[in-house]
Amino acid sequence: MSGLTKKEERLWLMIKTNPLMDKYNRNKSNARRRLVSARFARYKLENWEVADMIVRQNGCAICHCGLVEKDADVDHNHATGEVRGILCKPCNKGLGNFKDDPVRLKAAIAYLGAASSRTFC
C-alpha cells in the first residue's frame, strides 16, 4: 500500500480483517439501505430528490437548521399522502403533536406571545 506508514498499514489491515468492524460496517450500510427503500416505498422519493428539497428549502422547511439527508423526516399530508417538505425531527414531532392543525398552532403562538408579556412571580 503506497503512501501509508508501516503503523498506518498495520492499523488498516487490523480494521479491514476485524470481523467486528465488518459487521459494524455491514449493519450501518444495511440501515441506510432500509431508510432509502422505506422512503421510496412510502413517498416515492429518491435520495437525490430529498437532498434537492433540503437545498431548495435551505435546510428544515420550518426552522431552517442545517439538515443532513440521513436525519431528515419527510413531512406529508396524512389525508392525501402528498409530500409537503423535509423537516428536522423536532419540527416534525412538533407538527405531529399539534395534529397538523393550523388552529391549534395559532392558539399555541398566541399563548406564547401572551405568556411572554406576563409574569407570575
Site of grid cell 412571580: 121
pLDDT at position 109: 92
pLDDT in tens, 31-77: 667 777 788 788 888 888 888 999 999 999 999 998 887 788 999 99
Residue 25 has pLDDT above 80, yes or no: no
Residue 77 Rama label (left phi>0; alpha psi -120 to 50; beta) = beta
Tell me the longest C-alpha to C-alpha distance in the chain. 69
Q: How confident is the model at residue 101 (pLDDT cuts 50, 70, 90)?
A: very high
Average pLDDT score over the chain: 81
Cβ proximity of 64 and 79 under 8 Å: no
Q: How confident is the model at residue 114 (pLDDT cuts 50, 70, 90)?
A: confident
pLDDT at position 37: 75
- Collapsing DSSP states into helix, strand and coil, what is residue 91? helix
Higher local confidence (pLDDT), 24 or 62: 62
| Percent share of the chain, pLDDT over 70 | 73
C-alpha distance across the termini of the chain, in Å:
69
Grid cell, residue 22, equals: 465488518
Supply the DSSP symbol for 61: T
Question: What global pTM score does this model have?
Answer: 0.66
Higher local confidence (pLDDT), 107 or 18: 107
